[in-house]
Amino acid sequence: MQDFDCCFTKEKNWFRYRAGAIIVENGCVLFAGNELEDYYYSIGGGVHHGETAEDAVKREVLEETGVPYEIDRLAVIHENFFSQNRGTLKGLDCHEISFYFLMKPRGTQKLKSDSITHGVKEEMHWIPIDDLDKHKAFPAFLKDYLTRPHPGIEHIVTDERK
């Protein structure tokens, strides 16, 4: 297996295949954040070439939380279109496909996080589901998704291009 993400940039376009985790404990959902960004983001990351989405999400969760969560089930396939006005994706038309997996709860919010992404330390944040709308957190669909029944896999498309 190659150790690089399934992503590419061509001209002004950027694409990435991503695996994300939905981790809920005690009415809170886990997000990551760092000192460079003004928002929270879901746990997860790029799927490596030759890696399954399931293996990628377990790897990413362990890297970011220090805890080997187990997968409950595939919950959401998210097609996300967006653009950035700063950072490494500035000026690019972005298209990301993410497989979001609901992880099995452990009954505790204790983590062993020591995550560093692109040289920046990440911090984990347990945000109450009822308070998600008070935070700038992505993916934005999680507040709605986590407050209603969701028995099967959902396909969600968002377009946040400016």
Q: Would you give per-residue pLDDT tens digits along the chain (162 residues)?
A: 446 889 999 999 999 999 999 999 999 999 999 988 889 999 999 999 999 999 999 999 999 999 999 999 999 999 999 997 777 788 899 999 999 999 999 999 999 987 777 778 899 999 999 999 999 999 999 989 999 988 899 999 999 886
Q: Is residue 94 part of a domain?
A: yes
- Is residue 162 a part of any domain in this protein? no
In a domain, 102, yes or no: yes
With respect to residue 107, please indicate whether it lies within any of the assigned structural domains: yes
What CATH number is given to the structural domain containing 118? 3.90.79.10
Kindly write down the DSSP assignment for every residue of 75-143, as one continuous string: EEEEEEEEEBSSGGGBT-EEEEEEEEEEEPP-S--------EETTEEEEEEEEEGGGGGGS-EESTTHH
**Residue 135 maps to a domain:** yes
Sign of CA dihedral 107, 138, 152, 78: negative
CA distance 149 to 145: 8
Please give the structure tokens belonging to residue 40: 């929270």
pLDDT digits (tens, 9 = 90+) for 146-161: 999 888 999 999 998 8
User: What pLDDT does residue 3 have?
Assistant: 65
- In terms of residue numbers, what domain contains 11? 7-152
What is the count of structural domains for the chain?
Answer: 1
Kindly state whether residue 90 falls inside one of the protein's structural domains: yes
**Residue 157 is assigned to a structural domain of this protein:** no
